[in-house]
Amino acid sequence: MLGVHEFSIAEGLAAQVLANAPAGARVREVEIRVGALRGLEPEALLMCWDSVTFGTPMAGAILQIDQRAWSITCSDCRREWTSPVPFVSCECGNATPIPSGSDELDLIAITVDEVET
C-alpha cells in the first residue's frame, strides 16, 4: 500500500521548495533531512515526489533524502552506536538497549538553474 502520509509530505515539500526557489528557476535537486522517529519510507516518498512535481518547475528534480539512524545506548555497558532499527540487542548481551531518534523533517537546500541575461 502506498504510504499516503508520504504523499502529504511530498505536497508540503513541493510547496516549501517553490516558496524558496527564485521565480522561474528550474529546480535540479532537493535535499531533505528526516529523523529516525518519523519512520519515513524513502521509496514511497520518492514515488510521491515524482507524482506531485509532474508538470512543475521541479519535475525531474533529484530528491536527496538524508535519513538519520537511531542512536542506541546500552544501559549496561554504556556502548553507543547507530542502527536503522530501534530495537536491537547489545553485543554485551543486554537485549534492551535504549533507542532514541529525532523527529526532524527539514528542507536543507535546493539546487537550481538560474537564468542569467
Partner 1 sequence: MSEQTRTVRLPVMRRVLEANDDIAAATRAELALRGIFAIDLMGAPGSGKTALLEATLRALAGRRRPAVLVGDLATRRDGDRLARWCDRVVQISTGDGCHLEAIQVRDALAQLDLDGVDLLFVENVGNLICPVGFDLGQTAKVGLFSLTEGDDKAAKHPYFVAEADLLLLNKIDLAPHLSFDRAGFEADVRLLNPSVPILDISATTGEGLDAWLTWLTDR
Cell of 91: 553485543
Smaller CB separation from partner 1, 55 or 117: 117
DSSP 36: G
CA distance 5 to 22: 28
Q: Are 71 and 82 in contact (CB under 8 A)?
A: yes
Give least dist CB 5 to partner 1, A: 4
Give least dist CB 17 to partner 1, A: 8
3-class DSSP state of 25 = coil
Give least dist CB 55 to partner 1, A: 20
For partner 1, the binding residues (CB under 8 A) are: 3-5, 8-9, 12-13, 15-16, 20-22, 26, 28-29, 32, 37-39, 86-87, 96, 98-99, 101, 103, 105-117
